[in-house]
Amino acid sequence: MNIFADNIEAMTAYVPGEQPGSTHGVVKLNQNENPYPPSPAALAVLRQFDGQSLRLYPDPMAKRFCQVAADVLAVKADRICVGNGSDDLIIMIARAAAGRGRPVVTTEPTFPFYQTQAQIEAANFIAIPANDDFTIPIDALGQANGAVTFLANPNSPTGATATTDQLDWLARRLDGLLVVDEAYADFADENALKLVDKHDNVVVLRTLSKGYSLAALRLGFAVAPPPIMAGLIKIKAIYNVGALPAAVGAAAMADRQYHDQCVAKIVAERSRIAMELARRGFTVYPSGGNFLMVALAGGGGRAAYEALKARNVLVRYFQKDRMSDKLRISVGTPQENTVLLAAIDADGIGSRQ
Ligand SMILES: Cc1ncc(COP(=O)(O)O)c(C=O)c1O
């Protein structure tokens, strides 16, 4: 007899990007982490945190954090549900809304964790291929009409970004939930927050892992209309976010100046390396995130990934359909990006292969 249910036995585990034992001397551009340190205000809260208060359970809804996030994003605090990273919200939404007879739809390539959750819930999983230019196939997502449609926007690994008007259309077209995963929205021109007020079936996910340099803290949240909030509250682990992440996260979100400066530096570097890589013969796809998807003129994504790794530059290669000639490269600091470009030149990666 199998220990686990058939759908769990049949699935493979999610494989995260590699994490070197030590990051010393490594230019780590493979997990879309923020290359800058967290806000000094957030680090001050971390240092001054009253350890004695850890004796007590935290507020299950992290209301103080929600109020700060609500003020920053100009949404209502009671429309925010916190999670142990946005992964946690993806799990909750799949648990609540996907299952047998309740298909999960997304595009491909995208964040593979949506498929993982569909499999755990034994839901039919439908992956609509991205358009030829890797833009998001909005019409086909609408036609598939899933019980849950997950859309990373900007999408990873492609960087493609649907407009708010397209998402508005999609929300109207769908009978089920539209989950707009805005993990990378800090780096994009538009976001879908206003759709939460307009549609009962739209949830926006945010994380502090990317725009706020707090990937290890594990803090994310959903912005959702009241009926969806009610469902999330039913399903969530009672104390899914600790008092420490909530306090540090609130300080990070409140420090707008620091956030905006980091984002501006990353967006400027995104343009610079896009230009530099294009000059070296790569096809560079437009990106709204803190990363770029690039294609090598001669193919050989894996060989390029390995050559860069041998020079201590980690980027992401995906062994998937339509991805064998591509790399996803997170935007680092100007110095890190210069090391990346030098490694590319040293190995003659790009059109000069
Ligand atoms: C599209 C997307 N959504 C969600 C996540 C998970 O973020 P978190 O660290 O908040 O769990 C990631 C992480 O890389 C991501 O790329």
* Single-letter residue type at 306: E
Q: How confident is the model at residue 351, as a pLDDT?
A: 59
Judgement on whether residues 191 and 107 belong to the same structural domain of the protein: yes
Mean pLDDT of 123-150: 98
Condensed to tens digits (0 to 9), the pLDDT of residues 168-194 reads: 999 999 999 999 999 999 999 999 999
Judgement on whether residues 86 and 23 belong to the same structural domain of the protein: no
Condensed to tens digits (0 to 9), the pLDDT of residues 330-350 reads: 999 999 999 999 999 998 887
- The atom number, within ligand 1, closest to the CA of 86 reads 10
Q: Determine the residue of 210, 293, 328, 331 to mutate for testing ligand 1's pocket, defined as the one with the most ligand atoms within 8 A of the Cβ atom.
A: 210
CATH code of 198's domain: 3.40.640.10
Domain final residue, candidates 255, 271, 303? 255
- The radius of gyration of the chain's CA atoms, rounded to the nearest angstrom, is 20
Judgement on whether residues 84 and 219 belong to the same structural domain of the protein: yes
For residue 207 and ligand 1, the question of a CB distance below 6 A is answered with yes
Summary count for the chain: helices (H), strands (E): 13, 12
Instruction: Give domain status of residue 1, yes or no.
Output: no
Judgement on whether residues 276 and 311 belong to the same structural domain of the protein: yes
| Number of domains observed in the structure of the chain | 2
| Closest to 83 measured CA to CA, from 253, 207, 251, 179 | 207
For residue 287 and ligand 1, the question of a CB distance below 6 A is answered with no
Judgement on whether residues 111 and 198 belong to the same structural domain of the protein: yes
Domain final residue, candidates 202, 226, 255? 255
Judgement on whether residues 150 and 197 belong to the same structural domain of the protein: yes
Q: Determine the residue of 113, 213, 293, 328 to mutate for testing ligand 1's pocket, defined as the one with the most ligand atoms within 8 A of the Cβ atom.
A: 113
Residue 219 in tokens: 């803090």
Instruction: Give domain status of residue 318, yes or no.
Output: yes
Instruction: Give domain status of residue 283, yes or no.
Output: yes
Band of pLDDT at residue 21, cut at 50, 70 and 90: confident
Task: Check pLDDT > 60 for residue 352.
Answer: no
Judgement on whether residues 175 and 234 belong to the same structural domain of the protein: yes
Judgement on whether residues 33 and 59 belong to the same structural domain of the protein: no
Q: How confident is the model at residue 349, as a pLDDT?
A: 84
Residue 164 in tokens: 């708010």
Condensed to tens digits (0 to 9), the pLDDT of residues 238-256 reads: 999 999 999 999 999 999 9
For residue 191 and ligand 1, the question of a CB distance below 6 A is answered with no
Judgement on whether residues 15 and 76 belong to the same structural domain of the protein: no
1 or 31, which is more confident: 31
Instruction: Give domain status of residue 330, yes or no.
Output: yes
Domain final residue, candidates 231, 255, 279? 255
Instruction: Give domain status of residue 69, yes or no.
Output: yes
3-state secondary structure at position 108: strand
Mean pLDDT of 276-289: 97
Instruction: Give domain status of residue 352, yes or no.
Output: no
Q: Look at ligand 1, atom 13, and give the residue with the nearest C-alpha.
A: 183
Judgement on whether residues 23 and 121 belong to the same structural domain of the protein: no
Q: How confident is the model at residue 1, as a pLDDT?
A: 81
Judgement on whether residues 91 and 213 belong to the same structural domain of the protein: yes
What domain range is 93 assigned to? 40-255
Quick one: the chain helix, strand, coil %, rounded to 5? 40, 15, 45
For residue 85 and ligand 1, the question of a CB distance below 6 A is answered with yes
Instruction: Give domain status of residue 199, yes or no.
Output: yes
Mean pLDDT of 57-65: 98
Instruction: Give domain status of residue 141, yes or no.
Output: yes
C-alpha 254/C-alpha 349 separation (Å) is 42
Judgement on whether residues 69 and 47 belong to the same structural domain of the protein: yes
292 or 1, which is more confident: 292
Q: How confident is the model at residue 2, as a pLDDT?
A: 86
* Ligand 1 geometric centre to CA of 52 (Å): 32
For residue 137 and ligand 1, the question of a CB distance below 6 A is answered with no
Q: How confident is the model at residue 348, as a pLDDT?
A: 84
For residue 86 and ligand 1, the question of a CB distance below 6 A is answered with yes
Task: Check pLDDT > 70 for residue 145.
Answer: yes
* Ligand 1 geometric centre to CA of 352 (Å): 34
For residue 32 and ligand 1, the question of a CB distance below 6 A is answered with yes
For residue 215 and ligand 1, the question of a CB distance below 6 A is answered with yes
CATH code of 291's domain: 3.90.1150.10
Q: How confident is the model at residue 353, as a pLDDT?
A: 42
